[in-house]
């Protein structure tokens, strides 16, 4: 079996984070003509800013989810204890 790949030239930027817990690298495909009016440093800075905001948002949401899960677990434990106490002491 022969696999053919169509050749397309694309400009990409690869950003590797210092903390590799969430992702190893981010790949940004540049639009055609995006270099007009922007320097290479501007494009790289924008790519890094996008990658940093992704990491920041995901860490914050992950902490909220853990807290919310812990609160629901505590509420469930209190409810179960209340029902148990009601059954044991009232009935």
Over residues 10-60, the pLDDT tens digits come to 788 888 877 677 778 888 888 877 666 777 788 888 888 887 777 766 665
| Cα dihedral value 82, 83, 85, 89, nearest 10 | 140
pTM listed for this prediction: 0.47
Residue 32's alpha-carbon distances to 9, 11, 37, 87, in angstroms, are 11, 8, 13, 71
User: What are the φ/ψ torsions at residue 14 (nearest 5 degrees)?
Assistant: -110, 120
Q: Contact at 8 Å (CB) between 26 and 14?
A: yes
Does 78 score more than 70 pLDDT? yes
Conformational region of residue 37, where left means phi above 0, alpha means psi within -120 to 50, and beta covers everything else = left
């Amino acid at each position: 079996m022969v696999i053919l790949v169509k050749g397309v030239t694309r400009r990409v930027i690869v950003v590797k984070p210092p903390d590799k817990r969430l992702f190893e690298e981010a790949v940004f495909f540049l639009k055609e003509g995006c270099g007009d009016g922007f320097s290479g440093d501007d494009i790289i800075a924008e790519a890094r800013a996008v990658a940093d905001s992704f990491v920041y948002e995901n860490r914050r949401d992950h902490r909220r989810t853990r807290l919310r899960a812990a609160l629901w677990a505590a509420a469930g434990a209190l409810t179960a204890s209340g029902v148990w106490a009601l059954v044991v002491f009232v009935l």
